[in-house]
Structure 1
Amino acid sequence: MIPLTGGAGGGEKAMDKFVESSWFVRIVALLLAVLVYTSVNFSDFQLNKKADNSAQENSEIITDVPIQAYYDTENLFVSGVPDKVKVEVEGPKSIIESTKRLRDFELFIDLTNVSIGEHRVPIKHKQFSDKLKVTVHPEAVNVLIEEKVSDNFVVSPEFNDNMLAEGYQEEAVSVDPKRVKVTGSKAALNRIVYVKATLDVKEKVDKETTGTAKVQVLDGELNKLDVKVEPETVQVSISVKNPSKKIALKVFPKGTPPKGVKITSIKPETEELTIYGKESILKEMEELVIPVEVDGVKKDTILTVPIEIGEGLNFVSPQTVKVKVTAEESSESEPENGE
């Protein structure tokens, strides 16, 4: 033990001596080394933590992924391949997001060495990142490989009569082209009963209309057949007509004239109308009877009366008619309206 003598001056000398000693230098160096080591390792920990977070496993499903089928398209026809499937991918989130955005991968079935008949084949994939685990839903599909045949079929154009404007009726429906080429298996073509194209419109039709319609190939039970159609769409045109008929116009008084006034006659200037509408409605009509309001009529007058038409009719000519009303004074004892 070193005795502490000499007071404050002795203590300062001892401290100076300690600072200048080799032990002091060693201790300071050790503390600096520990500080540097801790700082470096903490930084590495933070970087590793960030890397671990970015590499954290995620799982997402990509929908509506098309499938490519490889086979002898010249001589064979394949049915049963779904248009689109789902793909589940697991891996780093950043790679999943990039995969979803770019969609530079491919799903396919390889039938190049598969014989004619029914087969269950796996759906394969390529061009996915090695860091992703890929699962296709479904993983395999049942396909039927048959000899390809083609034939031409006449297309039947169709139109929904409910889309006709009031009073109009279909005059003719045509399609262009009239024939389409249907390609598929021999069994599928033998089942064809209907090849049709239905024109779909958004507004009521009151004039000649043409639109694009998809060709449908159906069996006897209206099931869609798995075949290829060329062209897939056709132009369907519909012409409409607005039938007309001349009928008699008759009028009658409605209401009560003022007290002391009698209606002696009521006669329209024209006694014939032309009405337009469905033929089934026109066939039953021979005349149109309309009321004429005589309330307030005190003397001879001419009234303009609108012609109202019923369901199934869409136009009348003329749309208004002038009616001559003849009135005269009457005694209170006389019945009104000539009664």
Structure 2
Amino acid sequence: MDKFVESAWFVRIVALLLTVLLYISVNFSDFQLLQKADKSSQNNSEVITDVPVQVYYDTENLFVAGVPDKVKVELSGPKSLIESAKRLRDFELFIDLTNVSIGKHRVPIKYKQISDKLKVTVLPEAVDVTIEEKVSDYFVVSPEFNDNMLAEGYQEEAVSVDPKRVKVTGSKSALNKIVYVKATLDVKEKVDKETTGTAKVQVLDSELNKLDVKVEPETVQVSISVKNPSKKIALRMFPKGTPPDGIKIKSIKPETEEITIYGKESILKEMEELVVPVEVDGIKKDTTLTVPIEIGEGLNFVSPQMIKVKVTVEGNPESEPEEDSGA
């Protein structure tokens, strides 16, 4: 036995066995790493938003309501395939209604041109749709404008829309519910001159719910003209403050008896005169002052903005007592 252990063959066999064990150990570790990497690559998941949905149906004779414009898609699998799908977006989500009858149905959202190595989940997976006979009609558009967007003192004179009528296409039941077809002009700055802008047409029922219909054109031009009403009113001056002792304010007369003010008609209608205070503190003799004309809420301009006022006094200011110098 000792001779066999010491022989060259024994050494060779042991070396061979060690080599085989080392080889198995190294390759098994690599295999585990590959398994982990492959498993990791399969665990990637990402949601793609705003994916449009294509609908296949008889567009000439039918109208479909209830299909969302865009949905979400969750993709799970190798990261490289997910990234490619996100970047290229060469896949399609669709609903096939070519053989579906008129009425209400719950239908799945299908997909195509996505790698079979990816797990695909459409959010939502199915939707409720209503298929009806298509009808079209023309409706007059009512232009609207928020008065809160008018500059101070201005008021709406006229609002117009172009075109005045739009074509509305949808199901017969939807068109029967139409009560309002309107376009509201939205502006970013206060309006003090004629303004035109683009407004989206809204089709609403009696409870102001938006109806699922198609509008042609979808937007219209809304124009608003404004006016700045004016009125001539009398001026009335009154003294503010207290003149020196011995001085009495005899009269306060402005160089003009009336001014023109601009503002909302509802406010101008109530105004007959504008009371202007004149500061008389310290006035000891006849004086001409320049007084600013201040206006209140609902008014936006006055002409003139400054007026000259002649203040006439009578009496003499009392002299201050001399200080006693003492003995």
Q: Fold match, TM over 0.5?
A: yes
For residues 186 and 200 of structure 2, the distance between their equivalents in structure 1, rounded to whole angstroms, comes to 10
Please list every run of 5 or more consecutive structure 1 residues that lacks an aligned counterpart in the other structure: 3-13, 333-339
Identify which of 24, 32, 39 aligns with 1:45: 32
1:187 deviates by 2.1
What is residue 74 of structure 1 aligned with on the other side?
A: 60
For residues 152 and 51 of structure 1, the distance between their equivalents in structure 2, rounded to whole angstroms, comes to 60
Identify which of 140, 143, 168 aligns with 1:157: 143
Tell me the alpha carbon deviations over residues 31-88 of structure 1, each in whole angstroms, 9 at most, x when there is no partner. Answer: 3343344334433333333233223x34444333321110111111111112223333
1:153 deviates by 1.4
| 1:10-49 alignment runs, 5 A limit | 21-49=8-36
Matched, 1:254 2:245: no
The CA RMSD measured in Å over matched residues stands at: 2.3
1:234 deviates by 0.7
Identify which of 194, 212, 215 aligns with 1:229: 215
Amino acid at match of 1:52: K
Amino acid at match of 1:54: S
Residues 51 and 221 of structure 1, relative CA distance in 2, 3 Å threshold: closer
Which one is further off, 141-150 or 82-91? Answer: 82-91
Matched, 1:245 2:226: no
Matched, 1:264 2:272: no
Matched, 1:201 2:187: yes
What is residue 63 of structure 1 aligned with on the other side?
A: 49
Q: Is the 8 A contact 2:236 2:275 kept in 1?
A: yes
Amino acid at match of 1:43: D
1:331 deviates by 7.7
1:111 deviates by 0.8
1:94 deviates by 4.0
SS at match of 2:32: helix
Matched, 1:217 2:213: no
In our comparison, the structure showing a higher alpha carbon Rg is: 1
What is residue 145 of structure 1 aligned with on the other side?
A: 131
What is residue 124 of structure 1 aligned with on the other side?
A: 110
Amino acid at match of 2:129: V
Residues 265 and 89 of structure 1, relative CA distance in 2, 3 Å threshold: same
Identity across aligned pairs (percent)? 79
Amino acid at match of 1:323: V
For residues 223 and 54 of structure 1, the distance between their equivalents in structure 2, rounded to whole angstroms, comes to 47
1:150 deviates by 1.3
What is residue 325 of structure 2 aligned with on the other side?
A: none
Identify which of 290, 296, 300 aligns with 1:304: 290
What is residue 10 of structure 1 aligned with on the other side?
A: none
Amino acid at match of 2:111: H
Residues 220 and 28 of structure 1, relative CA distance in 2, 3 Å threshold: closer
1:165 deviates by 0.9
For residues 21 and 63 of structure 2, the distance between their equivalents in structure 1, rounded to whole angstroms, comes to 75
Amino acid at match of 2:103: G
SS at match of 1:299: coil
Aligned residues: 317
Matched, 1:134 2:120: yes
1:211 deviates by 1.0
Please list every run of 5 or more consecutive structure 2 residues that lacks an aligned counterpart in the other structure: 319-327
What is residue 6 of structure 1 aligned with on the other side?
A: none
TM-score, L = length of structure 2: 0.89
Residues 212 and 24 of structure 1, relative CA distance in 2, 3 Å threshold: same
1:246 deviates by 0.8
Residues 313 and 68 of structure 1, relative CA distance in 2, 3 Å threshold: same
